[in-house]
Amino acid sequence: MPERLFVCTPSKLGTYLDCPRRYRYSYVDRPSPQKGPPWAHNSLGASVHTALKNWYALPAARRGTEALPTLLKSTWVREGYRDVDQERVTYRKALGWLDTYVAGLDPEQEPLGVERVVATKTAVLAFNGRADRIDARDGEAVIVDYKTGRTGLDADDARGSQALALYAYAAARVFRRPCRRVELHHLPSGTVAAHEHTEESLARQVTRAEDAARDIMAAEKAVAAGADADEEFPTNPGSLCGWCDFRRSCPAGAEVHGKEPWAAVEHLERAE
Ligand code: SF4
């Protein structure tokens, strides 16, 4: 029998590479351990992403900044904030970011895809992922990923992102055109961090993803055959633990002081 393909998204692979134990809690253990409360920064990210998706769903003639307050209000996710005051400040900031960002977009320019799922297979992986936006530029496809976190990003972040590389690899196959350029659009700072991949650099990222997939499949197989799940999916304690949804279920995480659900948006109030 041929080995089955490992079905994955970028976030599934990224979870394993960050911490095998977190991967196990998310994707292997059933029932999955109870997660902590929702995070305000996830709510913020989801709200901004959906508002931009819906902006592109408008007819080109209506794609102006004046559409944004309605779009953002209707997609606003309220979970995770400390209180209504913090939520209001964050909403105002998000609207400001969107205003600036959208003012720099050409409403007539139709992307190849918005929140578009691209999927492809390799000898090891059946990959699928939802790209924020895929632009058509000069006959090529360009991967665009929106970011709403506190810190800006640079070209190294774009170059090193396995998720962006896998999107590019898949998009080239789906759209049958070259896809080498990947971009991180950081809305709070209005900056774009970009990288031009080569065939070789994309192949390297795919190989790394396949290596991770093989490790995961081997660990899952070992656990199914009776191996100790704690050993096969070890903890990786570090700065991520404070933000981990499974901190309360994890022996390493239990020793770490957890972040408040709104910790990653508090700086927005100070900047008011
Ligand atoms: S708390 Fe830390 S070590 Fe435990 S699963 Fe989460 S990230 Fe991994």
pLDDT tens column, 120-129: 999 999 999 9
Give ligand 1 pocket residues (Cβ under 6 A). 19, 21-22, 235-237, 240-241, 244, 246-247, 250, 252-253
Condensed to tens digits (0 to 9), the pLDDT of residues 47-76 reads 999 999 999 999 999 999 999 999 999 999
Its pTM surpasses 0.75:
yes
Distance 240 CA to ligand 1 centre (A): 7
CA distance 177 to 121: 17
The answer to whether 210 and 125 are in contact (CB under 8 A) is yes
Q: Which atom of ligand 1 is nearest to the CA of 18?
A: 7
CA distance 129 to 42: 18
pLDDT band at residue 152 under the 50/70/90 scheme: confident
What is residue 125's DSSP assignment?
A: E
Distance 12 CA to ligand 1 centre (A): 15
Distance 25 CA to ligand 1 centre (A): 9
For residue 104, pLDDT beyond 90: yes
The answer to whether 234 and 20 are in contact (CB under 8 A) is yes
Task: Supply the residue whose CA is at minimum distance from atom 1 of ligand 1.
Answer: 253
Q: What angle, rounded to 10 degrees, do the helices at 40-57 and 68-75 form?
A: 130
Distance 43 CA to ligand 1 centre (A): 22
Condensed to tens digits (0 to 9), the pLDDT of residues 173-221 reads 999 999 999 999 999 999 999 999 999 999 999 999 999 999 999 999 9
Residue whose structure tokens are 């055959």: 225
Q: What is the pLDDT of residue 272?
A: 67
CA distance 98 to 101: 5
Over the chain, what is the mean pLDDT? 96
pLDDT band at residue 113 under the 50/70/90 scheme: very high
Tokens of 138: 């000069």
> Which residues, other chains included, contact 226 with Cβ-Cβ below 8 Å and sequence gap of 6+?
none
